[in-house]
Amino acid sequence: MISEKMNAAFNKQIKDEMYSSNLYLSMVAYFERIGLKGFANWMRIQVQEENAHAMGLFDYLISRDGCISIEAIDKPETNWASPLDCFEAVYKHEQLVTSLINGLIDVAEQEKDRAAISFLQWYLKEQVEEEANCSEICSRLRFVGEDKHALLLIDQELGARTYVAPTIA
Ligand code: OFO
């Protein structure tokens, strides 16, 4: 069993994770367009991670005998001025997601839903990692500036990222 308020908050977060997935898919297209395949690969993995985050919430809500409602997802941006501009948008978005997860935990606390509080700890820790990863890439992009050779080295490195399915518990 789950309270109506908690149920609604979970449904909203499922939608927000799916928005993240679509936003990053739009970024895959951007990086493919400008020929940075390694950056595109990094974003493709980000898409898979966001789908896993959405499904983690989806399956959790089912396990609590909740009621799933798939909400409409807003259209994401399609263009960015530069790889740095794009990664700054990722960083800003992940900060927003962190505040959404905190809000979800606030609801769980109001509802005295200790099981949900415990479940959401994984998402909280994941956000720390998400923010740290994109903050680091932003710093490196700022450091290389207009140096195209250095940009290609970063592209090569990001191209090596592989997907590891998260164990959400
Ligand atoms: Fe789901 O963590 Fe990024 O948004």
Q: Is ligand 1 within 6 A of the CB of residue 97?
A: yes
Instruction: Provide the pLDDT for residue 78.
Output: 98
86 in Cβ contact with 78 (< 8 Å): no
- Which pLDDT tens digit goes with each residue over 61-91? 999 999 999 999 999 999 999 999 999 999 9
pLDDT value for 169: 75
- The rounded Å distance from CA 13 to ligand 1 centre is 10
What's residue 97's pLDDT? 98
Query: Does the C-beta of 155 come closer than 6 Å to ligand 1?
Result: no
Q: Which of 127, 131, 133, 137 to mutate to test the pocket of ligand 1 (most atoms within 8 A of CB)?
A: 127
Q: Which of 20, 45, 55 to mutate to test the pocket of ligand 1 (most atoms within 8 A of CB)?
A: 20
Global pTM exceeds 0.85: yes
| Low-confidence residues of the chain: pLDDT under 70 | none
Gap from CA of 50 to ligand 1 centroid (Å): 5
| Ligand 1 atom at shortest distance from the alpha carbon of 93 | 4
Predicted confidence at residue 1, as pLDDT, reads 87
Distance CA 156, CA 89 (A): 21
Contact yes or no for 14/6 (Cβ under 8 A): no
pLDDT attached to residue 46? 98
Query: What is the full DSSP assignment across 31-62?
Result: HHHTT-HHHHHHHHHHHHHHHHHHHHHHHHHH
Given CATH 1.20.1260.10, say whether it is the number of domain 4-159. Answer: yes
Structure tokens at 14: 């499922």
Minimum-distance ligand 1 atom for the alpha carbon of 53 = 1
State the Cα angle at 94 between 88 and 96, rounded to 5°: 105
The full set of domain ranges for the chain reads 4-159
- Is 20 close to ligand 1, i.e. is its CB under 6 Å away? yes
Q: Report pLDDT for 62.
A: 98
- Residue 17, ligand 1, Cβ within 6 A: yes
